[in-house]
Structure formats: structure tokens, C-alpha cells
Amino acid sequence: MTTTIPGPDGQPRCRWCAAAPEFFPYHDNEWGFPVDDDRRLFEKLSLEGFQSGLSWRTILAKRENFRAAFHGFDFDKVARFTERDVARLLQDAGIIRHRGKIEAVIHNAGRAREMVDREGSLAAFFWRYEPDAAKLGIPQTVSTSAESLALSKDLKKLGWKFVGPTTVYAFMQAMGLVNDHAEGCSIRARVERARGGFKRPAGGKGPAHPR
């Protein structure tokens, strides 16, 4: 099976873009490009938790609603949410109204604040789990990795919820810790250049996954 399809400009894109036309701009401008912004990292990990059991198309279509509901995923603000906020969110038809997932985001916001206090930033912690690119296999052939297993395990030890290894691996793909664009995808080289010029966050005191 071919791993690419023609994009709107006729150039090849990862095959998963065929599932929805709105995937093309997300794929071309976001997916796989390295991110060190803590709010974006927290947002993506939160949305991956909401996606559990659902499609990314559903989440992407509601992403702006999620951002409005969770104050732009400012985890300092989200950590202060109360049961009244949970009740409000359960009435918000613009998001996924799942109590467990909503409460997990609020809970994880508190863990994110703790991580910043300890590590300096979320980015400093997450980027220590970047795998050695030379040891990666064929793109998009696995849904977990040794690094996602390690990151999931360590996040759970720190009290985070909805951070299983598959969820964490999807987060790593999206936030550029791996370049999982198909070998023939026209965006792969752009992502690789972005990763090459990306300054990895420094700092942190927690466990570093061996590379």
C-alpha cells in the first residue's frame, strides 16, 4: 500500500490526510514541527486525552471550542477550576462532554504547574524523551515506542492522567519529538529542517531517557 496521496498542490502527503480535507493544513503547518511552547504542549496532551476512543477529526473540528472552554489551555488558570467549572464544561456542546476527561485536564494542569516549578518548563521535561532519529524505524508503522512507554510511565508516576503510551506517542509525533512523516511526503524535509534548527530546551532535574 502506498504511504502517500496527492495533496491539493499535487505534491505527495501522508496517506492519513485522505480522511478529511481539513487534515491538509494541519499536516502541512503543524504536525511534526518541533514545539517548545508549554501551553501548546499542554494543549496537545490534553486533546490527545480527549481523543481517546474518538477520531482526531472530531477533536480538530472542536479545537477552537476547547481553547475557549479551557482559557487557551493556560494551565495556571485551568488548575484553579472548581466543580462549578466542571459543571459548566459538561453543559458545553462545543467540546467533548466527558466528565472523566474534563476532570483529567484540570488535574493535569496542577501537575503541569508542579513540573514547571521542578523542571523550569514542560518542554525541558518532554524533550528529554526525544528518541535517537537514527534508530527510528519506518514512519507510521508503530503506535508506541520505548520512549513513549518511558514518558507515559514517568508521567503516571508524577500523577498525570490519560497519558497511556499510545496517547503519548501521538503527542510526540505531533509535537515534533519524532519526524513521522512518510518517507515520500513532501512535508517531511521541511519538518527535518525545522528539527535541525530547533534549539532543544535545557534544564530539568528529572529522569532522562537514554538516547
- Which ranges of 52-187 does DSSP label H, i.e. alpha helix? 56-61, 63-69, 75-78, 83-90, 99-119, 122-126, 146-157, 165-174
Q: Rounded distance, CA 198 to CA 200, Å?
A: 6
The residue from 56, 127, 129, 160 that is catalytic is: 56
The residue from 16, 30, 43, 48 that is catalytic is: 48
Instruction: Please spell the DSSP secondary structure of 79-111, one letter per residue.
Output: TT--HHHHHHHHT-TTS---HHHHHHHHHHHHH
Q: What's phi and psi for 14, nearest 5 deg?
A: -55, 140
Q: Rounded distance, CA 38 to CA 123, Å?
A: 6
Residue 26 grid coordinates: 494541519
The residue from 26, 30, 103, 192 that is catalytic is: 26
Residue 169 bears catalytic tag: no
Residue 192 bears catalytic tag: no
Positions annotated as catalytic residues are 26, 48, 56
